[in-house]
Amino acid sequence: MRNHALAFLAVTTVLGICGCASGAAQPAGQRAAVASSGPATYRFVVYGDTRFTDPAETDASSPAVRRALVEQIAAERPAAVFIDGDLPWHGIDADYAQYLEETRRWAAAGIPIHPTLGNHEFANCAEAVCLERWWAAFPELRGRRWYSLTPAPGIEAIMLDSDASLQAGSEQRSWLEERVGALSAQVRFVLIVLHHPPVADLQIGPAAGHNPRPNERALAEYLEAAAPGTRARFVVVAGHVHNYERFARGAVTYLVSGGGGAHPYPVVRGADDLYQGTELINYHYLRFELGGDGLNAEMVRLDPQSAATSPRWEVRDRFAIR
């Protein structure tokens, strides 16, 4: 636990003030200058819906898939891993302990972990208790439910809490608008990570329960209105749907990356989904590289039949944002 916290503080700069638990005092905002120079490229990983839990539980989440993903990401040696929610299956001590156990290689390598809150972080515990356990796992975020950071020159990461309101006039939305309005001219890309997707393939029947909700649709409306007047490009990554999807709405790119090990959801893809792969199961992570030519991304898919024995990997989607 301590290794993850130290790595976070050593590599990143926390910028924004953030939402707090009910009744908690709001911390003062922290601001610091962004380094004027850095590596020629910045490589990082985004994914979510891992549902770390007791390995004896194999329906809610696949321990073999989780392990394979963690090991492959560790081998990538990314500059950071961004988690788009549902890191534990339940917001209980045992599931966070399992997360720490299964990601020892990340901690040993000093890879910073930047999480967002999902609905499963609030499962099987009262809200205040759930938050306390999340903050115990990520003490550098104590008192914060949403936050921003500048992990490398040219990119700003904004980590949102879709369990709290994103509607106009809400505390989180006002904070977000302030952050977007204060972007420096050096920021080329804004990575926005949250759990519930603002844009996704619309499903019918029981699967419709994971369709975009009014809360996140309000976020999409704001971003698409703000994008034409913003020099930086917005890239939004969410989870909740246990699959992979990709969309473009004007100057905003929307991704669904929920292939971290949780029970997979087949999706019926609409014509506007830029990924038209026919696989029903897409365990995966997203690999990004920020360089002089822009932001390049790949969806790295795990063959689900190979997870427990000799994992096989394939890049199944590739795109660039200039």
Per-residue pLDDT tens over the stretch 270-280 = 999 999 999 99
Task: Work out the number of other CB atoms within 10 angstroms of the CB of residue 78.
Answer: 22
Rounded CA-CA distance 184/95 in Å is: 39
* Residues whose CB is less than 8 angstroms from the CB of residue 171 and which lie 6 or more positions away in sequence, other chains included: 19, 164, 165
**How many structural domains compose the chain?**
1
Per-residue pLDDT tens over the stretch 49-68 = 999 999 999 999 999 999 99
Structure tokens at 274: 């830029």
pLDDT of residue 152: 95
Query: The domain that contains 179 carries what CATH number?
Result: 3.60.21.10
Please give the sequence-ordered ranges of beta strands (E in DSSP) within the chain, or none if there are none: 42-47, 81-83, 113-115, 147-152, 155-159, 189-193, 233-238, 244-249, 252-257, 284-291, 294-302, 313-321
pTM tops 0.85, yes or no: yes
At 147, give phi and psi (nearest 5°).
-165, 170
Rounded CA-CA distance 246/16 in Å is: 28
pLDDT of residue 41: 87
The low-confidence residues of the chain, meaning pLDDT below 50, are: 1-17, 21-38
* Cα angle 84, 90, 95; round to 5: 90
| Cα-based distances in Å from 175 to 146, 199, 216 | 9, 21, 16
Range of the domain at 257: 2-321
pLDDT of residue 84: 98
pLDDT of residue 39: 54
| Cα-based distances in Å from 30 to 26, 27, 141 | 12, 9, 12
